[in-house]
Amino acid sequence: MSTLPLLAPWEHEVALEDVLVSLPRTAAVGAQVEANLRGWVAKARTLGASWARIGEALGMTRQSAWERFAEGGGKPSA
């Protein structure tokens, strides 16, 4: 069995075109993950979780959780 460390795909020798082809797929996956995370946070809020509990679960402060996930992103309307 090999004891070599596993490398992330971008740490391998790879051609520029292969890197560019992977960017939109990676961005799409990131958007899907973000949408799912927002859905779970909304569900937690519906079930009564405080921003402090959500922040703790995500390894961030209450304020950071609120700014990232509150309706409107926690930013004042223009």
What tens digit of pLDDT does each residue of 36-56 get?
999 999 999 999 999 999 999
pLDDT of residue 14: 86
pTM, two decimals, is 0.73
| DSSP at 8 | -
Read off the pLDDT of each residue in 56-60 and give the average, rounded to a whole number. Answer: 98
The domain segmentation of the chain, as residue ranges, is: 43-70
What does the alpha-carbon distance between residue 31 and residue 41 come to, in Å, rounded to a whole number?
Answer: 15
Nearest to 38 by CA among 5, 70, 75: 70
61 and 55 in contact (C-beta within 8 Å)? yes
